[in-house]
Amino acid sequence: MARSYDVRRLPGFGAIAVLTFILLYLPILVLVVFSFNAGPSQSEWDGFSLQWYVAAFGNQQVQDVSIRSLWLATVAAGIATALAVPAALATTRVSRFPGQTMIYALINQPLMVPEIVTGIALLIVVAWVKVNSGYSGMAYLVLAHTAFCIPFAYLPIRARLETLDPTLETAAADLYANPWQAFRYITLPLLVPGIAAGFMLGFVISLDTVVITEFVKSAGQDTLPTYMLGQLRRVITPEMNAIATLFLALSLLFVTAFFLITRKRG
């Protein structure tokens, strides 16, 4: 009897897998380890210390850009999720119509176009609006991050909708529920895990975005990633390692929550 195909039996599979994980995670591990280094060196271990975390928490500029980053990510992810819900409903809970594939492609356009292209396009539009309106507030960053986060919020919501049994909504209609009542009492509660996953994914993406923020922000609107990039251009200190480690921990927290929610409901 022929044996079933197993990719793990391919020659060199284990070695390639180990090498891949080393290349991916060894630099991150080194960064985390040296964030606890007692000395300023990035290559010599001088003992364990939390002084760089204390310095990071005591840095007023770090506090300001961290609060701005969290606020921006929360607002952008919230708006993106609110827009992604009706978009997902409109592309899954209707019969096929001409142009449906094009609409799906347009929603996911930020995923297919290089981020640098999106950033340059936003720069041109934002610069024109700034010149003609005189306004240079945070609304530009909110809109830019929201547009970039929409497909990341849309995909888990759409995936969740595709797993829901449409006969539940049909049964609600048979019991004289109008479309809004069927959505409120049937679809929405079942959709909450997808909405939560979409929000968390959009939050992490917004929190991590550097290119779009660099092109769109005005003076005094640095986020934590752009602040770190600016500091690294001047000098690399273990304080940046500490900030990056905290940033990594927050991202891992949201990614883990996203995984647990989708795994549980799956």
User: Of 216, 245, 206, whose CA–CA distance to 228 is shortest?
Assistant: 245
Q: What is the pLDDT of residue 154?
A: 92
Q: What is the pLDDT of residue 113?
A: 82
Q: What is the pLDDT of residue 75?
A: 95
Q: What is the pLDDT of residue 72?
A: 94
Let me know: does 87 contact 154? Beta carbons within 8 Å: yes
Let me know: does 244 contact 228? Beta carbons within 8 Å: yes
Residue 15 lies in a domain: no
CB atoms within 10 A of CB 47: 8
Residue 217 lies in a domain: yes
Residue 167 lies in a domain: yes
In terms of residue numbers, what domain contains 99?
A: 55-265
Dist. CA 26–CA 34, nearest whole Å: 12
Residue 208 lies in a domain: yes
Q: What is the pLDDT of residue 262?
A: 65
Residue 158 lies in a domain: yes
Q: What is the pLDDT of residue 264?
A: 54
Let me know: does 150 contact 84? Beta carbons within 8 Å: yes
CB atoms within 10 A of CB 138: 14
Confidence (pTM): 0.81
Let me know: does 55 contact 239? Beta carbons within 8 Å: yes
Residue 14 lies in a domain: no
Residue 24 lies in a domain: no
Q: How close are the terminal C-alpha atoms of the chain, in Å?
A: 34
Q: How does pLDDT run across 47-74, given as a tens digit for each residue?
A: 888 888 888 888 888 888 888 999 999 9
10-residue mean pLDDT profile of the chain (266 residues): values are: 65 84 89 85 82 86 88 94 91 75 79 85 89 88 91 90 80 79 83 88 88 88 86 77 85 78 59
Q: How many CA atoms lie within 13 A of 83 on its CB side?
A: 16
Phi–psi pair at 48, nearest 5 degrees: -80, 135
Residue 44 lies in a domain: no
CATH of the domain at 73: 1.10.3720.10
The identity of residue 45, as a single letter, is W
- For residue 84, what are its two tokens? 């992604």
Q: Total structural domains in the chain?
A: 1
**How many residues are there in the chain?**
266
